[in-house]
Amino acid sequence: MKNNQKGSSALIILLILVVLVAAGLLAYRMIHDKNKNKTQNTTQNNTTNDTAKTSNNTTTPTTSFLSIPEWGVKIAMRDASKVQVTVNNKSGMIFGEDPYEAEAVPDFIKGAVQDDSCKPGLGLYRSKTAFADSSIQKKVGDYYYAVTGGPGSCEKDADNQLKTRFLHDFDPNNISAL
């Protein structure tokens, strides 16, 4: 009878330890998330003087511009220093019906993301004629610009945070002349 009682005591102690560890992890995560939100709010409050309008008429905190000198345009974006653009002067079709004259393909620069397979997944398209869907385009100078693509998620949380900011900022309404 004593052996059974010793075995059940060990099981009870093990169960109590598991509950305490779970409670500790939960408390740590709650404190960590609370501090993370404080940091994000501070960053947003420090950059409100330098803003750009987005398609839903909200303001995007920005600190720099992603320049496309070949086209004479720039895009207001928080993480412009972490992105590069390759301009392809080839024509094609987007949305199955809209011709474009050139495309700019963004990519994260080496070292900006932890996982090199994390890609923006969008393209910026330029045309002399308006695109059928006027909600996703902006005219700057003699050209219309539209953004489209199929962004997926990234493996690492930090990469996903960068990509989320990029997707928010890489908006036709943030484009202006150089």
Instruction: Quick: pLDDT tens for 124-167.
Output: 999 999 988 777 789 999 999 999 888 777 888 989 899 999 98
Residue of higher predicted confidence among 20 and 61: 20
Q: What is the pLDDT of residue 105?
A: 92
pLDDT at 177 over 80: yes
Residues whose CB falls within 8 Å of the CB of residue 109, separated by 6 or more in sequence, listed in order = 81, 82, 83, 84
Q: What is the pLDDT of residue 35?
A: 54
Least confident interval from 87-91, 130-134, 174-178: 130-134
Both tokens assigned to 167 = 């997707």
Q: How confident is the model at residue 1 (pLDDT cuts 50, 70, 90)?
A: very low
Q: What is the pLDDT of residue 48?
A: 28
